[in-house]
Amino acid sequence: MTRKNQLRRSGTRLQRQGALWFRQTRNAGETFVVEAQDASVTFGRDMRTAGAKLVATAGRSAQGFQKALHKEVLDWQALVLQTRDGYMAALEERRDRVEHQALSAREALKPGAVETTVLQSAHDLLELAQSRVDERLGQAAKPVAAKAPSKPKTAKASPKKGGSPLRNYDQLTAKDVVTRVQKLSGPQATAVLDYERSRKKRATVIRAAEQRLTAAS
């Protein structure tokens, strides 16, 4: 084989190899372009889907946060109103109490009210002292009455129930009897004295009856 033929064959093989490489390269480029387009479309679709999900999730989160914030604001407003109302109610109650105390103090300091209060207190103290004196004198008089064996006294010690010197005598207090004794006649005062000595033995009544008899004589 001559050198010329070898060169021709070598050139032919090179042309075939070049054409094959070109076809393969072009096919690979076309395949890449098609796959790249498909991948771009898929990527774009995936990106849109992911973006939509992100927007929806962010929107829901924002709505939830807004609702929670609104609820907290309402709770704080209610708390502030309750605190204010409670404070105002307590203030009103304290003011009313102070006004009532001031009014009571003014009423108590009026001349008539002061005099009435003092007289009532004195009356109560005198009543208490009188009742205690009567009780002590009654207790002291019991042993003496038990030791006295005199027959006249025994005869007077049991008057009949219907022979009371005053109407409803047994229901009257010592003060009532003393007040009425001052207006009785001598015999009536004597009847009161005898009846009291034989029954209740109240020293104030006995003393008042004796004084009335002394004044009548």
* Per-residue confidence band for 37, with pLDDT thresholds at 50, 70 and 90: confident
Predicted TM-score (pTM) of this structure: 0.28
Residue 26 has pLDDT above 50, yes or no: yes
Q: What number is the average pLDDT over the span 138-151? A: 48
**d(C-alpha 13, C-alpha 96), whole Å:** 121
SS3 (DSSP) at 192: helix
Res 155 pLDDT > 80: no
- Residue 154's pLDDT is 36
pLDDT reported for residue 105? 65
Which are the contacts of 213, defined by CB distance < 8 A and separation ≥ 6? 186, 189, 190, 193
**pLDDT at position 160:** 46
Residue 194 predicted with pLDDT over 90: yes
Between 159 and 125, residue with greater pLDDT: 125
Look at 78-82, 111-115, 159-163, 172-176 and tell me which has the smallest mean pLDDT: 159-163
* pLDDT category of residue 121 using cuts at 50, 70 and 90: low
Q: Give the percent of the chain with pLDDT over 90.
A: 22
